[in-house]
């Protein structure tokens, strides 16, 4: 696949997510369920980005791991796919699509402004633990995003006029349980990401931990995830709104860790690479 065709696919995916955002905002304003057309758009976006990733992989001979461009490219694909899977398993999670769509659109707009130049993957980095580390990180972020989108919907449900979130009005207890189930799964995936990353780091650099910026903030994120889950289990009377707001805060921290730290340091684990 040529770089030009890859670029066209990314632009097409961005246009699709713009359409999904408009569909969701229109449905929210008109108090309608716009998930079905949004799901079709997400599936099309995941297909388009999957083709772009596969073509780049064949051309460059390595997975999308190294640059900010590749991280964004693979993240839009994985987040679309994971949200579709979560929404199929938990219908109530579909209420969060109005949060997911503009978030994915923002990542796409960031992607089109990044350099597509590839950076070679050192041979010592290429082992199964790298796959485990990267994939568990993608799954973590996807489940955390789904939990957060639903938490935002629950927060707004209490602020906006009735009827804006019919799915949540019909099953508020199910929505509440779904938020914490998704958040717990995200915590498990994040824990495995840390373990796999440590083993991979030992094989790549000869040490399990080095306290570089990304490692440090990833640990802070893990502590925030675990701390919130522990707080909810301990304080049975925690107000639901407070719990939802804290879920959003933890996701913001995770988002800045995944995309902010690499952006500031140009590449993940720059100090070691």
CB 122 within 8 A of CB 203: no
Domain-wise residue ranges, the chain: 3-265
Give the Cα separation of 104 and 178 in Å (integer): 21
Residue with structure tokens 């340091």? Answer: 265
The answer for residues whose C-beta is within 8 angstroms of residue 220's C-beta and 6 or more apart is 253, 257
Indicate the pTM of the whole model.
Answer: 0.90
Maximum alpha-carbon separation in the chain: 58
pLDDT less than 70: residues of the chain: 124, 158, 160-170, 262-273
Q: What is the pLDDT of residue 60?
A: 86
Q: What is the pLDDT of residue 270?
A: 52
- Work out the angle at residue 7's Cα, subtended by the Cα atoms of residues 102 and 99, and round it to the nearest 5 degrees: 10
- pLDDT tens-digit map of 176-232: 899 999 999 999 999 999 999 899 888 877 788 888 788 888 999 999 999 999 999
Q: What is the pLDDT of residue 62?
A: 83
């Amino acid at each position: 696949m040529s770089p030009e065709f890859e670029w066209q696919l990314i632009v097409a995916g961005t246009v699709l997510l713009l359409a999904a955002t408009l569909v969701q905002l229109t449905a929210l304003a008109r108090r309608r369920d716009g998930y079905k057309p949004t799901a079709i758009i997400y599936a099309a976006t995941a297909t388009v980005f999957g083709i772009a990733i596969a073509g780049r992989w064949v051309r460059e001979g390595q997975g999308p791991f190294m640059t900010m461009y590749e991280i964004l490219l693979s993240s839009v694909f994985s987040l679309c796919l994971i949200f579709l899977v979560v929404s199929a398993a938990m219908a109530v999670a579909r209420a969060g699509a109005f949060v997911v769509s503009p978030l994915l659109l923002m990542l796409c707009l960031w992607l089109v402004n990044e350099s597509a130049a590839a950076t070679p993957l050192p041979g010592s980095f290429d082992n199964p633990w790298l796959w485990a580390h990267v994939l568990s990180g993608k799954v973590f972020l996807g489940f955390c995003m789904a939990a957060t989108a639903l938490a935002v919907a629950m927060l707004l449900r209490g602020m906006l006029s009735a009827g804006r979130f019919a799915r949540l009005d019909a099953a508020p207890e199910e929505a509440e349980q779904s938020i914490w189930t998704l958040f717990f799964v995200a915590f498990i995936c994040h824990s495995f990401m840390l373990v796999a990353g440590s083993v991979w780091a030992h094989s790549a650099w000869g040490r399990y931990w080095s306290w570089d910026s990304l490692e440090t903030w990833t640990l802070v994120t893990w502590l925030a995830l675990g701390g919130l889950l522990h707080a909810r289990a301990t304080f049975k009377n925690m107000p639901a709104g407070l719990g939802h707001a804290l879920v959003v805060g933890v996701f913001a921290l995770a988002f800045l860790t995944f995309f902010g730290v690499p952006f500031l340091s140009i590449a993940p684990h720059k100090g070691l690479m």
